[in-house]
Structure 1
């Protein structure tokens, strides 16, 4: 990949906790557009959905999420994918209560999910599937349209104005993600091997596919899409496990407050499977991240000059690797995963 919009960061300026070996962090040269997009999303959410309190999203100091995970984002798309990503972060917090009900109820189906309110799981408002699963590609809104759907329609309109074909790919992927993610948390996973495929889905494999292809102007040929997802699997495994490692404390506390005896997190699964304490489970998880990072780095290196696959696929795989590195560094420094007395 030719680097045009990003610059390499001096390794002395960031930590990786030993999870990244000889791979360099890159950051987008433009910091203004990411900040603008994230703050605009927060403002719209506060105005139209719910007031934001004690919230931390993608912005951070010194590293913000989009700049380090999509360092080669096309400049005219940076603000928009920052907006969309911040919207996803805002939604993520509301989804936790929904998914906790999915886990604790044995007779919970999609019709039940549509009755869940994002603020109150006993409410009567429609849920997240209305926003993303029904007519996801429609920009039509009316008096009864939920505010979340209005924002989603606005995102789609802005994306279409820039790049209609890739906007369609992104929103379809996002809708499919929500449907699949609703199923991933219904089970108690007894082993890390059984847990990981669901974690890859839940970590946003499809959302990130849409983000990278739209943000970087990548088009994966139809005949390579299955190969694309297969080759990228180790990268998404590393992404999901890193998320679990760094968000563990916050997720554990949230689960306790909701009265759950289960946490959808690799640390919890490892503790149960291996009969180890939290500290040992974190070490095992860290080792798994290193293993998947090494495996995926080898995939990227072995395909970099492979003329048997398209240039677009090779570019995508390298973009996922940059995302893996950026995600780890961001996770170490971001306020989003820091535990506070109010979390």
Structure 2
């Protein structure tokens, strides 16, 4: 893959808890477009759907989700991709709030946002506000790249339909859980996002093989998501009165009759195992004969893993203003590594603050110029 839009970060400048498998972290050169797209999505959702309160999405410091997971996004597509991703976070939170036994009807209404004419960019005034925003996303994407926008929205609709069935009951084993988790974590949604963001076209005759080769990568991404969102999801399930958590850590605890700490370690090893399998798939002679776009897609999934990993370690979405990733590192790292991490953050935090403040000032000026 040719790298045009991202910079690689030194491995010693961020934590990966030993789960990156040597994959370098790359960050998009334009963080401002992601901020603009994400904030616009929050503003539109707040004014059209429901108040956005006590919410954390893809934005984070020092890493935001899209810039970390799609570092080679074409710059002109970064803002709408970030808007779509933030909408997906908001939609997912709304679905989780409705996904209780007493709210099946409300959940089904939300599903119609994508079931009813997902490729219609013009909707009636009486449709749900979420549907209007979805149609707006489609229209903006189609104005950039009609063909790939249609591919993305079809994949998104398929993802929502499949994911709506995955949480109906708990799974007894990790082997049973993982295929459904890959669906729920957005395998098809991410396929649409990556192909649009990077202007990739996967030949029809290569699609099934492409998805098969990418599956261990998505398994690693899913397990990583579960590992770092575990405490948040456990608390949310308790508040909702649910007797199970749709999370690999919970499944392993039930299956192996083990402690939380042991379950986390097992998930760690599973991430490494799936990553090794994914690397073998990427480097196989069979893969080398595939189209350039298919190979680029597999490399993009590879970069998405490490981006998702590092973002998950630092993001406010999973840690809710508390430095819980340090608590998790009690189980993931040694005392020496935690001490070095703390000292490092203490030394560089003043410089980060200055840089972050200058970023925000630059963004405000840019948005004001755009508005005028």
TM-score (norm. length: structure 2): 0.84
2:237 corresponds to:
255
2:45 counterpart of 1:55: no
2:23 is the counterpart of 1:42: no
Tell me, yes or no, if structure 1 residue 318 matches structure 2 residue 308.
no
Q: Could you give the per-residue CA deviations for residues 263-282 of structure 1, whole angstroms, max 9, x where no partner exists?
A: 00000000000000111101
Contact 1:132 1:175 in 2 (8 A): yes
SS at match of 1:260: coil
Q: Tell me the distance in 2 between the aligned counterparts of 1:300 and 1:7.
A: 22
- Does the CA-based 8 Å contact 2:281-2:287 persist in structure 1? no
**Residue 8 of structure 1 aligns with which residue?**
8
Distance 1:139 1:157 in 2: 5
**Does the 8 Å contact 1:177/1:206 carry over to 2?**
yes
How many angstroms does 1:291 deviate by? Answer: 1.0
1:208 corresponding residue in structure 2: 190
Which structure: larger Rg?
Answer: 2
Moved more, 17-26 or 81-90: 17-26
Structure 1 match to 2:171: 189
Q: Point out where structure 1 has 5 or more consecutive residues left out of the alignment.
A: 106-111, 118-125
Aligned to 1:235: 217
Task: Tell me which residue corresponds to 1:294.
Answer: 276
Distance 1:250 1:303 in 2: 41
Question: How far, CA to CA, are the matches of 2:11 and 2:150 in structure 1?
Answer: 38
Q: For residues 173 and 210 of structure 1, what CA distance do their matches in structure 2 show?
A: 6
Quote the Cα distance in structure 1 between the aligned partners of 2:320 and 2:75: 34
> Relative to total residues, which structure has the larger helix share, 1 or 2?
2
CA shift for structure 1 position 298? 2.2
CA shift for structure 1 position 340: 6.2
Q: Secondary structure at the match of 2:200?
A: coil
SS in structure 2 opposite 1:177? helix
Q: Give deviations 1:127-184, integer Å, cap 9, x for gaps.
A: 2221111111112222211110110000000000000010000001111111111111
* Aligned counterpart for 2:122 among listed residues 132, 140, 149: 140
What is residue 167 of structure 1 aligned with on the other side? 149
Query: Which deviations, in whole Å up to 9, do the C-alpha atoms of 1:36-72 show, x marking residues without a partner?
Result: 0000001101111111111110011110000010000
In the alignment of these two chains, the number of paired residues is 322
Cross-structure match for 2:106: 116
Gapped regions of structure 2 (runs ≥ 5): 323-372
Q: Which residue matches 1:108?
A: none
Q: Report the alpha carbon displacement of residue 305 of structure 1 after superposing the two structures with TM.
A: 7.2
Structure 1 stretches (4+) deviating beyond 6 angstroms? none
The CA deviation string for residues 164-209 of structure 1, in whole angstroms up to 9 with x for no partner, is 0100000011111111111111232110000000000000000000
Q: Deviations over 1:111-142 (max 9, x none)?
A: x84x306xxxxxxxx62221111111112222
1:337 aligns with 2:318: yes
- Alpha-carbon distance in structure 2 between the residues aligned to 1:3 and 1:160: 25
Q: Secondary structure at the match of 2:164?
A: helix
TM-score for both structures, normalised by structure 1: 0.91
Distance 2:40 2:251 in 1: 37
Secondary structure of 1:7's match? strand
- In the aligned structure 1, how far is the partner of 2:205 from the partner of 2:146? 21
Q: Give me the CA root mean square deviation.
A: 1.5
Q: CA deviation at 1:98?
A: 3.0
Residue 339 (structure 1) shift: 4.3
Q: Determine helix, strand or coil for the equivalent of 1:184.
A: coil
How do residues 261-300 of structure 1 correspond to structure 2 at under 5 angstroms? Answer: 261-300=243-282
